């Protein structure tokens, strides 16, 4: 790890000498917890000194590190040994709800219907297609179960078929570090071609000549920073670099407009963007700039007829839609199509030949505003539920009046619809089938509002089984994310039924830092206002207790990644509020990570968290960083999960956090770390393997109710 941004001194090696454990009293087996050795490392910034006793855990190849992680795994297994029967029961319940022989809703693209399907007992899908009409024989594009046999982790991404429908490109990651190798398959012969492109994002875009393609590669920090052009059959080492994003705060990517007429290179940071384009028919062209990047100017581009359509925050905090002629793309030529609305967030748009679909967020919920570009008439789609999740999906055809969208709610399984934008009729194409005795009518969902300490109303979505009494006897699991402007919409989970059927209430706190209530909602939960995310979560928890939905000893919290940061911060700020907390792949060592530019995502996220090289941000981040704020006090029971190959939040963050907590905490509550030694940020790659991880988390929660 590069340390060009922090000063450190190795003081002394301290051997592993501790034989006792404060957690011994919680079980009759008197199991000794692992105690990580201390190697005090001095970290100095802004004349402020921190001593990090567990800094050495960032040495991924160090056998002592691996042994420590394995010891923690064994300890977790022993502590939860009495729940193994429950874990198995939960796992079987989850598997039992899955239709093992199943297939996705087919979508149409360029003469073919595409879908994936699972065969009984298989962890991975077969990717398939059929000729238009869906009556022809099935063509298996990719047999993933067969390909994955030799690997403990196997992830396929971004299948892309050439315009003439002959060559398939796809990305493969076998380590879970999100470095994909792109391979090519001849769909006529069924054979893989010799072309093989390593170290990519897994995404490839075809030019219209069926032989030229564009792809993105990653640097040592896993930032996507260069776009290359590859000609099928040529040596990959001869590929031409067409764009280099030299600003470490930006990442780059490439895509094709839905009209299939232009190839676009995008360059994005948290609060700024820049785009370039060429005609898809002329892949040897030099990419032309649309408008130069500016600080705090965000925009995104698609195409229709003689114009680029541009969603932008230019003089519009909640975004508006503009358009500009293809030959006059600079900002000064942009004209307004959809004006800014201070009460409505324009999250996205979908362009068709005759229709424009706006994805608008109104009062925290997604709405589809559909505009007929020929008549200028417009209408909204009615979803019919109080709280739900909806998004447009797989709309690859440009000249169509059919909108494909996905919908679910806390009680409605994931559903795929085709909506005719002319007739205003929707057709259910597929709804996730939940086997067993599931009946959505047995569950109720609600939308509540908690009042934060500063008077802000924080939305809460919750679901529970209809036959429970709403009183303090109910256990309740509160979940949140609250970062990057990512809205945590109410969604259906068939695994969650295992909690609901045991009397749990499940709630989502839509805390600031997301974007549920517009751009202000995001901006008031980031940078120097980040603590609002944490206090909102605490205020939602206290509200649910005050309204008799649960009580303190039956309240639990959960969050992942940046949501894991939230859980970590809450464990320090309100340790007595929760019976137990689950922190999944948590970002908890904020200061050290954000000072290390060699770590993935660091420099590109200064606009989200702040740059700690600036003392103002350093001091603020230090005041909530979960690892830095661990104290000698009581903490609730904690289950922390991570993956050895995690590229988003390095495994050593939760490992160090656990080690420090174990050394300092003064209670006898459970403190458990579970590291998936073969996976990364997203956990296990197979569809059933993931249920084992969820079963462990649920068993941990249920065990705390005894």
DSSP string, 115-140: EEEE-TT-SSPEEEEEETTS-S--EE
Which structure tokens are listed for 675? 């590291």
576 pLDDT exceeds 70? yes
CA distance 121 to 101: 8
CA distance 666 to 635: 8
**603: alpha, beta or left? (left if phi > 0; alpha if psi -120 to 50):** alpha
Q: Is 136 annotated as catalytic?
A: no
80 pLDDT exceeds 90? yes
CA distance 68 to 322: 55
CA distance 683 to 694: 10
DSSP state letter for 646: -
2 pLDDT exceeds 70? no
Catalytic residue among 272, 415, 646, 695: 646
Instruction: Round the average pLDDT of the chain to a whole number and report it.
Output: 91
Q: How far is CA 98 from CA 102, 117, 343, 433, 622, in A?
A: 9, 13, 40, 7, 44
Task: Say what the pLDDT of residue 38 is.
Answer: 97
**466: alpha, beta or left? (left if phi > 0; alpha if psi -120 to 50):** alpha
CA distance 560 to 484: 13
Task: Say what the pLDDT of residue 355 is.
Answer: 97
Backbone phi and psi for residue 216, each to the nearest 5 degrees, phi listed first: -115, 135
Task: Say what the pLDDT of residue 452 is.
Answer: 97
- 180 CB-side CA count, 13 A: 24
**Residue among 360, 344, 353, 352 nearest 404 (CA):** 352
Q: How far is CA 159 from CA 114, 127, 182, 320, 353, in A?
A: 11, 9, 10, 32, 25
Task: Say what the pLDDT of residue 681 is.
Answer: 60
Q: Is 340 annotated as catalytic?
A: no
Task: Say what the pLDDT of residue 602 is.
Answer: 72
Give the number of other CB atoms < 10 A from CB of residue 55. Answer: 23
167-173 and 180-186 strand pairing: antiparallel
3-state secondary structure of 207: coil
3-state secondary structure of 85: helix
Q: Is 267 annotated as catalytic?
A: no
The residue ranges of every structural domain in the chain are 351-436
CA distance 694 to 95: 12
Judged by average pLDDT, the poorest of 66-75, 438-447, 600-609 is: 600-609
Which structure tokens are listed for 608? 């989200």
Catalytic residue among 561, 625, 637, 695: 561
Q: Which sign, positive or negative, has the C-alpha torsion 190, 192, 197, 200?
A: positive
Under the banding of pLDDT at 50, 70 and 90, the label for residue 449 is: very high
pLDDT single digits (tens) 107-145: 999 999 999 999 988 888 999 999 977 678 899 999 998
Of the two residues 532 and 148, the one the predictor is more confident about is: 532
In 467-597, beta strands by DSSP E:
476-479, 505-509, 555-560, 580-584
In sequence order, which residues have a C-beta less than 8 Å from that of residue 452 and are 6 or more positions away? 458, 532, 535, 536, 539
Under the banding of pLDDT at 50, 70 and 90, the label for residue 502 is: very high
C-beta separation of 699 from 89 below 8 A: no
Mean pLDDT for the stretch of residues 603-612: 88
pLDDT single digits (tens) 660-695: 999 999 999 999 999 988 765 655 556 778 899 999
pLDDT single digits (tens) 407-428: 999 999 999 999 999 999 999 9
74 pLDDT exceeds 60? yes
Task: Say what the pLDDT of residue 318 is.
Answer: 95
Task: Say what the pLDDT of residue 343 is.
Answer: 93
Mean pLDDT for the stretch of residues 595-617: 86
Judged by average pLDDT, the poorest of 119-123, 125-129, 301-305, 627-631 is: 119-123
């Amino acid at each position: 790890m590069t340390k060009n941004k922090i000063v450190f001194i190795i003081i002394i090696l301290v051997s592993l000498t501790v034989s006792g454990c404060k957690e011994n009293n919680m079980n009759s087996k008197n199991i000794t917890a692992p105690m990580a050795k201390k190697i005090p490392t001095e970290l100095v910034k802004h004349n402020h000194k921190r001593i990090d006793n567990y800094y050495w855990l960032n040495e991924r190849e160090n056998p002592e590190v691996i042994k420590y992680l394995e010891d923690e795994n064994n300890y977790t297994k022993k502590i939860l040994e009495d729940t193994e029967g429950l874990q198995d029961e939960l796992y079987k319940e989850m598997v039992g709800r899955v239709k093992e022989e199943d297939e996705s809703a087919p979508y149409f693209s360029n003469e073919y219907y595409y879908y994936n399907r699972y065969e009984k007992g298989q962890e991975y899908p077969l990717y398939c297609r059929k000729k238009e009409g869906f009556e022809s024989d099935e063509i298996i594009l990719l047999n993933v179960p067969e390909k994955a046999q030799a690997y403990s982790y196997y992830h396929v991404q971004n299948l892309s078929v050439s315009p003439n429908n002959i060559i398939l490109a796809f990305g493969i990651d076998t380590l879970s570090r999100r470095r994909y190798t792109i391979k090519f398959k001849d769909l006529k012969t069924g054979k893989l071609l010799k072309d093989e492109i390593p170290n990519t994002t897994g995404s490839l875009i075809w030019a219209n000549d069926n032989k030229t393609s564009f792809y993105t590669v990653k640097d040592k920090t896993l930032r996507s920073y260069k776009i290359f052009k590859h000609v099928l059959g040529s040596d990959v080492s001869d590929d031409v670099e067409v764009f280099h994003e030299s600003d470490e705060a930006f990442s780059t990517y490439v895509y094709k407009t839905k009209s299939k007429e232009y190839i676009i290179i995008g360059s994005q940071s948290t609060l700024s963007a820049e785009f370039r384009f060429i005609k898809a028919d002329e892949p040897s062209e030099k990419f032309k700039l649309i408008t130069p990047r500016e600080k705090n100017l965000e925009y995104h581009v698609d195409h229709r007829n003689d114009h680029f359509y541009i969603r932008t925050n230019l003089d519009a905090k909640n975004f508006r839609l503009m358009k500009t002629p293809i030959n006059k793309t600079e900002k000064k030529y942009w004209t307004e199509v959809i004006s800014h609305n201070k009460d409505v967030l324009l999250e996205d748009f979908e362009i068709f030949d005759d229709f424009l679909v706006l994805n608008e967020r109104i009062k925290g919920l997604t709405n589809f505003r559909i505009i007929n570009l020929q008549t200028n008439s417009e209408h909204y789609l009615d979803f019919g539920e109080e709280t739900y999740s909806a998004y447009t999906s797989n709309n690859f055809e440009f000249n169509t009046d059919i909108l494909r969208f996905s919908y679910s709610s806390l009680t409605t399984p994931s559903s795929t619809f085709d909506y005719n934008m002319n007739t205003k009729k929707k057709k259910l194409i597929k709804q996730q089938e939940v086997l067993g005795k599931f009946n959505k009518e047995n569950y109720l969902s609600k939308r509540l509002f908690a009042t934060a300490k500063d008077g802000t109303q924080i939305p809460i979505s919750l679901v529970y089984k209809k036959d429970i009494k709403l009183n303090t006897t109910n256990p309740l699991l509160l979940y949140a994310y609250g970062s990057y402007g990512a809205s945590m919409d109410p969604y259906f989970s068939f695994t969650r039924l295992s909690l609901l059927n045991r009397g749990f209430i499940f709630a989502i706190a839509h805390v600031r830092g997301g974007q549920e209530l517009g751009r202000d909602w995001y901006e008031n939960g980031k940078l120097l206002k980040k603590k609002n995310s944490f206090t909102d979560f605490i205020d939602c928890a206290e509200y649910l207790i005050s309204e008799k939905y649960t009580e303190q000893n039956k309240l639990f919290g959960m969050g992942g990644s940046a949501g894991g940061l939230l859980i970590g911060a809450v464990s320090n700020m309100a340790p007595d509020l929760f019976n137990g907390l689950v922190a999944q792949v948590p970002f908890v060592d904020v200061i050290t990570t954000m000072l290390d530019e060699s770590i993935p995502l660091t420099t590109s996220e200064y606009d989200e968290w702040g740059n700690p090289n600036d003392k103002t941000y350093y001091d603020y981040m230090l005041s909530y960083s979960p690892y830095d704020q661990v104290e000698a006090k009581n903490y609730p029971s904690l289950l922390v999960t991570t993956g050895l190959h995690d590229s988003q939040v390095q495994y050593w963050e939760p490992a160090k956090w656990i080690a420090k907590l174990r050394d300092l905490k003064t209670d006898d509550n459970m403190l458990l770390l579970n590291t998936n030694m073969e996976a990364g940020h997203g956990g296990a790659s197979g569809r059933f393997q993931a249920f084992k991880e969820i079963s462990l988390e649920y068993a941990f929660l249920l065990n705390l109710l005894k």
